[in-house]
Structure 1
Amino acid sequence: MSDNLARHFLLREDVVFLNHGSFGACPRPVFETYQAWQLELEREPVDFLGRRLNELMRVPREALAAELGAGAGDIVGLTNATTGLNIVAQSLDLKPGDQILTTDHEYSALEKTWAYVCRKTGAEVVVAKIPMPLVNEAQFTDAILAGMTGRTRVLFLSHITSPTALIFPIERAVAEARRRGIWSVIDGAHTPGHLRLDLDALGADFYSGNCHKWLMTPKGSAFLYARPEVQHLLNPLVISHGWTAKSKEPGASGAFGNSPFIDEVEMQGTRDPSAWLSVPSALAFRREHDWDGVAAQCRALAQETAMRLAELTGLDLLSAPEFCAPQMVAMALPDCDTAEIHRTLFDTYRIEIPVFRWQKTCIARLSVQGYNSRAQMDRLIEALTELLDLRSPARQAAR
Structure 2
Amino acid sequence: MKNLFLLNPELTFLNHGSFGACPKPVFESYQSFQREMELDSVHFIQKKFPEYLAKAKASLATFINCEANDFVFTPNPTVAINTVMRSLNLNEGDEILSTNHEYGAMDRTWHFYCKNSGVKYVRQPISLPIVSKEQILEEFWKGLTSKTKVVFLNQISSTTALIFPVKEICDKARDLGIITIIDGAHVPGHIDLDIADLNPDYYTGTLHKWMLAPKGSSFLYVKKELQNQIEPLVVSWGYESLTPGKSQFLDYHEYQGTNDNSAFLCTPAVIDFLQENDWKQKSAEAKQLVLKNYPKFCELMNSKPIAPISTEFLGQMASVPIKTSKPQELKDLLYDKYKIQVPIMLLNEKVYLRYSINAYNSQEDLDVLYNALEDIIATTDLLQV
2:204 aligns to what?
Answer: 208
Q: Give the secondary-structure state (helix, strand or coil) at the position aligned to 2:21.
A: coil
Please identify, of 93-102 and 305-314, the stretch whose mean Cα deviation from structure 2 is larger.
Answer: 305-314
User: Is 1:332 matched with 2:321?
Assistant: yes
- Structure 1 CA distance for aligned equivalents of residues 168 and 333 of structure 2: 43
User: Is 1:145 matched with 2:141?
Assistant: yes
Cα shift at 1:333: 1.6
- Structure 1 CA distance for aligned equivalents of residues 314 and 291 of structure 2: 10
Within the candidate set 275, 287, 296, 1:308 is matched to: 296
Within the candidate set 269, 281, 289, 1:293 is matched to: 281
1:98 aligns to what?
Answer: 94
Deviations 1:299-347 (A, max 9, x none): 1111222221122233110111234331111111234421111010000
Deviations 1:48-96 (A, max 9, x none): 1112322221111111011001111111111111111111111110111
After superposition, residues 364-383 of structure 1 pair within 5 angstroms as 364-383=353-372
Within the candidate set 273, 283, 287, 2:261 is matched to: 273
- Structure 2 CA distance for aligned equivalents of residues 118 and 311 of structure 1: 41
Deviations 1:229-284 (A, max 9, x none): 11122111011111227xxxxxxxx9452411122111111101100000110110
- Structure 1 CA distance for aligned equivalents of residues 314 and 278 of structure 2: 19
- Structure 2 CA distance for aligned equivalents of residues 120 and 314 of structure 1: 44
Taking structure 1 as reference, are residues 128 and 323 closer, same or farther at Cα in structure 2, changes over 3 Å only? farther
User: Is 1:81 matched with 2:80?
Assistant: no
2:52 aligns to what?
Answer: 56
Q: Give the secondary-structure state (helix, strand or coil) at the position aligned to 1:363.
A: strand
1:162 aligns to what?
Answer: 158
Deviations 1:124-161 (A, max 9, x none): 11111012112311111112222111111110000000
Aligned length: 382
Equivalent AA in structure 1 for residue 311 of structure 2: E
Deviations 1:92-125 (A, max 9, x none): 1011101111100001111111111112211111
User: Is 1:219 matched with 2:215?
Assistant: yes
- Structure 2 CA distance for aligned equivalents of residues 116 and 358 of structure 1: 19
Within the candidate set 314, 339, 347, 1:350 is matched to: 339
Taking structure 1 as reference, are residues 92 and 171 closer, same or farther at Cα in structure 2, changes over 3 Å only? same
Unaligned stretches of 5+ in structure 1? Answer: 246-253
Equivalent AA in structure 2 for residue 194 of structure 1: H
Within the candidate set 12, 16, 22, 2:18 is matched to: 22
Normalising by structure 2, what TM-score?
0.96
Equivalent AA in structure 1 for residue 91 of structure 2: K
Q: CA RMSD in A?
A: 1.8
1:11 aligns to what?
Answer: 7
Within the candidate set 9, 25, 37, 2:33 is matched to: 37
Report if the CA contact (8 A) 1:134-1:323 is conserved.
Answer: no
- Structure 2 CA distance for aligned equivalents of residues 290 and 322 of structure 1: 19
Q: Give the secondary-structure state (helix, strand or coil) at the position aligned to 1:147.
A: coil
2:229 aligns to what?
Answer: 233
Please identify, of 236-245 and 217-226, the stretch whose mean Cα deviation from structure 2 is larger.
Answer: 236-245
Aligned sequence identity (%): 38
Equivalent AA in structure 2 for residue 145 of structure 1: W
Equivalent AA in structure 1 for residue 316 of structure 2: Q
Deviations 1:171-214 (A, max 9, x none): 12111111121110000111110111111111110000110000
Q: Give the secondary-structure state (helix, strand or coil) at the position aligned to 2:142.
A: helix
Taking structure 1 as reference, are residues 196 and 75 closer, same or farther at Cα in structure 2, changes over 3 Å only? same
Q: Give the secondary-structure state (helix, strand or coil) at the position aligned to 1:209.
A: strand
1:284 aligns to what?
Answer: 272
2:248 aligns to what?
Answer: 260
Normalising by structure 1, what TM-score?
0.92
Deviations 1:8-55 (A, max 9, x none): 000111111110000000000000000000000110111111123222
Equivalent AA in structure 1 for residue 217 of structure 2: S
Taking structure 1 as reference, are residues 255 and 179 closer, same or farther at Cα in structure 2, changes over 3 Å only? farther
Equivalent AA in structure 1 for residue 364 of structure 2: A
Equivalent AA in structure 2 for residue 229 of structure 1: E
